[in-house]
Amino acid sequence: MAPHEEIPGSPRDHWSFQPPVKANVLARAPQAEAQNPIDFFLDAKRKQQALITVEPASKRVLLRRIYLDLIGLSPTQTEIQDFLNDTDKDAYEKVVRKLLASSQYGER
């Protein structure tokens, strides 16, 4: 239990037993940064804690991250060049689908 969390009188009163409630997305992240509704919540929390947003990762860094996350290996130079040359807006999603379908995905 978190140090700031109060212990309820009954275990059934604990937040984890309460039905989920859809939150209103009231905060507005800059349009360029908002790709998902969760971005609005993250932006509000960053502002609350006076954190500075860093620039989005480059295509090369994104590719390396997804390769390491999904198959545990770095992309080859050819895969990097193919990704950098792909101007399709779904280029990242295509790589993710390819890696998830790969036999290397899930290997130990």
Q: Determine the pLDDT at residue 96.
A: 97
In tens, the pLDDT along 67-108 reads 999 999 999 999 999 999 999 999 999 999 999 999 999 887
Q: Give helix 77-85 / helix 59-70 axis angle, nearest 10°.
A: 130
Residue 6 C-alpha from the chain's centroid? 30
In tens, the pLDDT along 8-40 reads 788 888 888 889 988 776 645 455 556 777 888
- Residues composing the chain: 108
Q: Determine the pLDDT at residue 1.
A: 55
Q: Determine the pLDDT at residue 57.
A: 92
Instruction: Say what the pTM is.
Output: 0.61
